[in-house]
Structure 1
């Protein structure tokens, strides 16, 4: 009944509010943020930032797995900066995962550089592929964080990154180097960080977070293009994810499609309830839907998976 009511209200242009309800519980126990969700061989994985540190000073990454996106199992630490990196020791933020060449490529922020590690399994362990950053701080006019990698149907991979401005480039076939000649930048109104790309029915949706992650107004907006390189036109019905009532700071998301279905879920963080803030965030999942014209409908943060 809740799902039917949600659909009826959103299709009529109204915002469904389940204000009398308690906010859904987070899907991961403890403080985790910037979740990247992926599905491999019918199993779902979340790669988050380990949160709860003043100044976001975590130095390792974990991965969690699930068969139904409801019960999640911790698979362990997959990259530990103190043991696995020689060029960065802290600020392990906002990872991403991609599969190509029969390998799993793990992209991550490390002390405001972007690195890449490789494994034969989605649960790692991952090995630093370069012994240095893939993208170095100061290399472009943005803070070098928040990588996201999208592999298109033709096998071409693209990387999206940057705080303050979004950079887009083609990855070379080895997945550990960038085609520098391809790089473009994009800064829609309101863009801050956390870019993420999906493809649906031939259209490319670039999504991003607006405001600062410490701001209760932190939220997600999007633009659409016919190309993964853009240009992207910002949609009118933004933001599509934001908090209200006791849910605050809902943003820095990723999106997953259920294999074989036009069924989508958005995974994001919010301030821990109660008494959370921009350093103490928790991971949640909500359904994400489209209207008949392909616009993303507003996500209701009180509706859970």
Structure 2
């Protein structure tokens, strides 16, 4: 009996040692395959943040915040285009606050774009308000649509920044915005007004700013950034719903986008689907490498994947994306 116990103990110990060796080997293998000291180059040259990525007429576009000033005091917006997500062309300034607006001249932040009835509507933050401009082309130039803010500073809880417009399959448009609190409302058909009585405000656990909505297989995904953009822990989480206005249930998993190693402050994202495919890419900013911080950020793109249950999988910020061909 004693011999049998000794044999069983020996077998258990051997199995435990083998398991530990396997785990250590797996960790070592991961470390060898993912070098966290070297990250892919940013897709846009220079410092740009808060990228809104979109696809129109077989071409990709990025609409970012111009970065590089303490306090984020930029005064204009640019547009970038690409045929393959890898090589990007600067289309120049598409909206200049001092020149094109009468109600704000600085703090040009976090734009977004949507198209309806062959018109392109450009939503943006300007000095703590949300404005909307319109153009016949995705590259602008854009003209102020209202002569005043679409959402005035102090109108709702939180800061009136970080607008995003989601276009549903039925053509309905929904506006999301807010730092500190998420605000959401269905836009009127003119894309430049909404029923103020129908505005909803809510705050998912961990929510700070940068709301962004996508729809996949009938499920609405509300994504947002957590922590402050100056914090290396800046990251992206999400919740799901069967309705574009919620209620939303936060995913039980951790952030789907976060920094690691040399990558710091990965967040304030947007997502684009390759037309006709279940293929998704996430654009976001990180601290500039090297020497970046919350005022010197650069724009990156990674692929984004879902598991069989529709959960968004963690994004690999060290992946180098390959050129994407669009059907013509």
TM range (shorter): over 0.9
Alpha-carbon contact 1:21-1:302 (below 8 Å) kept: no
> Is 1:71 paired with 2:87?
yes
Equivalent residue for 1:293, pick from 306, 309, 318:
309
- Partner residue in 2 for 1:92: 108
- Partner residue in 1 for 2:59: 43
- Partner residue in 1 for 2:279: 263
- Aligned partners of 2:300, 2:265: CA distance in 1, in Å? 12
Deviation by residue 1:128-164 (Cα, 9 ceiling, x = unmatched) = 0000000000101110000000111111100000000
- Partner residue in 2 for 1:226: 242
- Aligned partners of 2:229, 2:91: CA distance in 1, in Å? 27
Equivalent residue for 2:132, pick from 116, 127, 138:
116
**Where has structure 1 moved over 2 Å in runs of 4 or more?**
14-17
- Partner residue in 2 for 1:158: 174
- Partner residue in 2 for 1:5: none
Equivalent residue for 2:190, pick from 147, 152, 174:
174
Deviation by residue 1:24-62 (Cα, 9 ceiling, x = unmatched) = 000000000000000001100000000001100000000
The alignment's TM-score, normalised by the length of structure 1, stands at 0.94
Question: How far did residue 238 of structure 1 move?
Answer: 2.1
Alpha-carbon contact 2:36-2:261 (below 8 Å) kept: no
- Partner residue in 2 for 1:102: 118
5+ residue gaps, structure 1 = 1-13
- Aligned partners of 1:226, 1:163: CA distance in 2, in Å? 24
> Is 1:137 paired with 2:153?
yes
> Is 1:277 paired with 2:293?
yes
- Partner residue in 1 for 2:24: none
Equivalent residue for 1:146, pick from 162, 167, 179:
162
Give the SS at the match of 1:191: coil
Give the SS at the match of 2:209: strand
- Aligned partners of 1:171, 1:55: CA distance in 2, in Å? 31
- Aligned partners of 1:16, 1:199: CA distance in 2, in Å? 36
- Aligned partners of 1:19, 1:95: CA distance in 2, in Å? 33
More helix, by proportion: 2
- Partner residue in 2 for 1:3: none
Alpha-carbon contact 1:50-1:58 (below 8 Å) kept: yes
5+ residue gaps, structure 2 = 1-29, 322-328
Equivalent residue for 1:214, pick from 230, 247, 250:
230
- Aligned partners of 1:122, 1:99: CA distance in 2, in Å? 8
RMSD: 1.3
Alpha-carbon contact 2:233-2:265 (below 8 Å) kept: yes
Deviation by residue 1:44-98 (Cα, 9 ceiling, x = unmatched) = 0000000001100000000000000000000010000011000001000000000
The aligned runs of 1:240-259 (5 Å cut-off) are: 240-259=256-275
- Aligned partners of 2:155, 2:320: CA distance in 1, in Å? 40
> Is 1:202 paired with 2:218?
yes
